[in-house]
């Protein structure tokens, strides 16, 4: 089975038409669906949060069959993710895309769950700790995008499950969880 | 039911009469009845009357039956009657023909009977009568008979012209041949000059004619839209104008709304007959431009315009012919044999697309053209149609434009790593792994 890094690629990754934007509506719908799944799976496994259209993205080319997605195709697939709420355009010119392989709400739930399972209620953690600390190693939270984390925490804050406070510098930003 | 006091005529598959050698059509009249003065013989109702150089044909297009009266049997043709009564009735032309004792038409019959040609459609009886007289006068069927006779008698048929020339001037040896050549050249030159003079005169008038025709066409257009229910007289003169305009070569939009002028109907049937053989050779489908070239080349003279061809093809919907005009999304127009259905072509494309090589690299329009035995442009149309039906999908790359069998339908979005056993995806995957 072919791999991209440690990610297992599906067999249709070697199917040349997969890299050509299909004109026929039904075929196109199927193709878009497959690409959306693939992008989300890959980003989740590689902890990728941002796809930039101006840079090469390894998933978008397959040297084995010598094909890569056209710019238009990439736009179409990312736009489809945005429409589904699984991605957001970071800039107005749609050149950078934030991939939400977990939705913000899902992140919020995940954090809450993590806090409960590890007994971190009523304790304080810094943002940096959550992102790169020992406690979160091996979980989805490890290496999480800073912006995404803050938005998830804000959601929790609105529900009264957390309180964000600023530290002396950006590194000291922290959050206190409550039961 | 039509009686058989006239001998039958064989028709082609499209309803056109089969002509005798050397027979030429002279005039066509729709909606004509043929009545005999003998009350015991049932009349023929509402058919197409075709005046040729040899015969008078009556064709019932609905039942594909045809009957003929040989012009050799015509004794006399009476001019159409001009009387107060005849103005309100359908014009009638009476033709006296000789018949054999048992009442059938025969060239050397002892008796004679009168057949009445009743024109129920909007036709000009005087024009038809003049044409009939011309044809009767020229007696072309005799020239054909004599030529045949002579050809069967002697080995070399000597044209009468040469014989006369031989009497006039002693033709001996090489100088005789040279003199004959000279005479021929001079006469050709003279006739060419005359023709060109006419042409020059026509060219100068052409501009005026075209302007006049355009004015008339616009007038027709405006009058047809203005008046709601036109009465009979107006419709008659309008029909005349339309026919006249058509003969000059300008198709008025009024004609397009009606069933199509008679010319196009006949042309349409002729085309359907002609196109059968080339269609078989080309595998069931030919591009319209190719048919245009083939048809005109076969006709020799009296070439048809591309517009005439298109009209003739669109008229096929109205009759039952085994061919059809088809327009692809890209705008390419082809003539297709109704027998060759798309399903058959798709089945062949599908099997071609699932061969091991095709699974790996796909098929190009030229590959398909080779396999299907049709032109590459048409093969591409077939591939595109197959794609739109979900049978194939495209692969655009620097290598070019290729098509693969559609595997998207085989992929389960829930488990994208699974390959269904015994499906095309499985075959494809094995073909891929074989090549390494």
∠ at Cα B22 (B244, B153), nearest 5°? 160
Q: What percent of chain B has pLDDT over 90?
A: 3
The pTM assigned to this predicted structure is: 0.55
Residue B428 CB-density burial (10 A; 0-12 exposed, 13-18 middle, 19+ buried):
buried
Q: What is the pLDDT of residues B278-295, one digit of tens each?
A: 887 777 788 899 999 988
DSSP, res B415: -
pLDDT tens, N- to C-terminus, chain B (436 residues): 334 678 888 888 777 888 887 788 888 888 888 888 877 777 888 888 888 888 888 888 778 788 888 888 888 888 887 777 767 778 888 888 888 777 677 777 778 888 888 888 777 788 888 888 888 888 777 765 665 555 444 434 344 444 444 444 555 788 888 888 888 888 888 877 777 777 777 776 676 777 777 777 777 777 655 554 445 555 666 667 666 666 655 444 333 333 345 777 778 888 888 888 888 777 778 889 999 998 888 877 677 888 888 988 888 887 778 888 888 888 888 888 876 667 777 888 888 888 888 888 889 888 888 887 777 888 888 888 889 888 899 999 887 889 998 888 877 766 666 666 666 667 777 666 654 3
Query: Is the CB of residue A55 less than 8 Å away from at least one CB of chain B?
Result: no
- How many of the other CB atoms lie within 10 Å of CB of B157? 12
Closest CA to A23 of B422, B29, B2, B392: B392
The answer to whether B417 contacts A11, with C-beta atoms less than 8 Å apart, is yes
* Separation between Cα atoms, residue B156 and residue B434, nearest integer Å: 74
Query: Is the CB of residue A10 less than 8 Å away from at least one CB of chain B?
Result: yes
Q: Which of A10, A17, A24 sits opposite B417 (nearest CB)?
A: A10
Instruction: Tell me the pairing of strands B55-60 and B25-36.
Output: unpaired
CA B428 to chain centre: 50
Closest CA to B284 of B182, B208, B378, B170: B378
- B201 sits in which H/E element: helix B173-226
Instruction: Please report the residues numbered 58 through 87 in chain A whose beta carbons come closer than 8 angstroms to any beta carbon of chain B.
Output: 66-67
A81 falls in which pLDDT band (50, 70, 90)? very high
The answer to whether A22 contacts B408, with C-beta atoms less than 8 Å apart, is yes
Tell me phi and psi for residue B195, to 5 degrees: -60, -45
Query: Is the CB of residue B330 less than 8 Å away from at least one CB of chain A?
Result: no
Tell me, what's the ipTM?
0.82
Given this model, what pLDDT does residue B436 score? 39
Query: Is the CB of residue B407 less than 8 Å away from at least one CB of chain A?
Result: yes
Query: Is the CB of residue B390 less than 8 Å away from at least one CB of chain A?
Result: yes
Q: What is the pLDDT of residues B118-164, one digit of tens each?
A: 888 777 788 888 888 888 888 777 765 665 555 444 434 344 444 44
Interface test with B, best of A12, A40, A66 (most B CBs within 10 A): A12
Question: From the CA of A14, how many Å to the nearest CA of chain B?
Answer: 9
Q: What is the dihedral of CA B302, B307, B312, B315, to 10 degrees?
A: -160
């Amino acid at each position: 089975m072919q791999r991209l890094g440690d990610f297992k690629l599906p067999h249709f990754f070697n199917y040349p038409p997969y890299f050509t934007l299909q004109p026929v509506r039904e075929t196109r719908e199927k193709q878009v669906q497959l690409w959306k799944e693939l992008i989300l799976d890959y980003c989740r496994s590689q902890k990728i949060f941002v796809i930039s259209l101006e840079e090469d993205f390894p998933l978008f080319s397959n040297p084995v069959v010598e094909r890569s997605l056209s710019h238009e195709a990439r736009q179409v697939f990312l736009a489809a993710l945005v429409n589904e709420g699984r991605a957001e355009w970071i800039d107005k010119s749609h050149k950078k895309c934030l991939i939400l392989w977990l939705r913000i709400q899902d992140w919020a739930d995940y954090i809450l769950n993590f806090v409960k399972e590890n007994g971190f209620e009523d304790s304080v953690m810094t943002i940096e700790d959550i992102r790169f600390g020992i406690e979160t190693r091996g979980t989805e939270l490890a290496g999480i995008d800073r912006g995404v984390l803050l938005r998830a925490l804000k959601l929790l804050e609105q529900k009264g499950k957390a309180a964000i406070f600023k530290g002396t510098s950006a590194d000291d930003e922290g959050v206190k969880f409550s039961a | 039911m039509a009686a058989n006091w006239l001998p039958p005529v064989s028709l082609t598959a499209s309803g056109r009469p089969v002509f005798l050698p050397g027979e030429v059509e002279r005039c066509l009249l729709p909606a004509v009845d043929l009545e005999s003065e003998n009350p015991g013989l049932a009349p023929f109702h509402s058919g197409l009357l075709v005046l040729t150089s040899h015969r008078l044909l009556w064709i019932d297009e609905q039942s594909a039956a045809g009957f003929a009266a040989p012009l050799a049997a015509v004794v006399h043709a009476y001019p159409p009657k001009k009387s107060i009564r005849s103005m309100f009735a359908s014009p009638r032309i009476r033709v006296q023909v000789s018949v054999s004792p048992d009442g059938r038409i025969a060239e050397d019959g002892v008796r004679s009977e009168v057949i009445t040609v009743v024109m129920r459609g909007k036709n000009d009886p005087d024009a038809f009568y003049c044409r009939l007289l011309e044809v009767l006068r020229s007696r072309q069927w005799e020239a054909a008979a004599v030529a045949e006779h002579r050809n069967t008698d002697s080995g070399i048929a000597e044209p009468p012209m040469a014989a006369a020339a031989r009497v006039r001037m002693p033709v001996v040896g090489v100088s005789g041949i040279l003199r004959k050549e000279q005479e021929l050249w001079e006469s050709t030159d003279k006739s060419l000059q005359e023709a060109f003079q006419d042409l020059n005169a026509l060219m100068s008038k052409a501009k005026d004619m075209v302007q006049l025709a355009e004015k008339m066409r616009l007038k027709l257009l405006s009058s047809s839209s203005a008046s709601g229910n036109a009465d009979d007289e107006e419709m008659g003169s309008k029909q005349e104008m339309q026919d006249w305009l058509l003969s000059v070569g300008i198709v008025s939009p009024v004609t397009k709304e009606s069933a199509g002028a008679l010319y196009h109907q006949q042309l349409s049937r002729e085309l359907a007959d002609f196109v059968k053989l080339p269609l078989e050779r080309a595998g069931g489908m030919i591009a319209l431009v190719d048919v245009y070239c083939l048809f005109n080349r076969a006709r020799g003279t009296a070439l048809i315009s591309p517009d005439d061809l298109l009209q003739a093809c669109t008229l096929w919907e109205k009759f039952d012919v085994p061919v059809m005009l088809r327009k692809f999304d890209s705008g390419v127009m082809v003539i297709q044999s109704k027998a060759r259905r798309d399903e058959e072509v798709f089945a062949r494309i599908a099997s071609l697309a699932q061969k091991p090589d095709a699974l790996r690299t796909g098929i190009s329009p030229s590959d398909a053209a080779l396999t299907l035995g049709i032109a590459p442009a048409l093969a591409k149309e077939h591939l595109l149609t197959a794609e739109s039906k979900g049978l194939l999908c495209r692969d655009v790359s620097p290598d070019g434009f290729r098509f693969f069998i559609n595997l998207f339908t085989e992929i389960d979005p829930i488990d994208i790593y699974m390959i269904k056993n015994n499906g095309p995806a499985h075959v494809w995957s094995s073909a891929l792994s074989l090549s390494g």
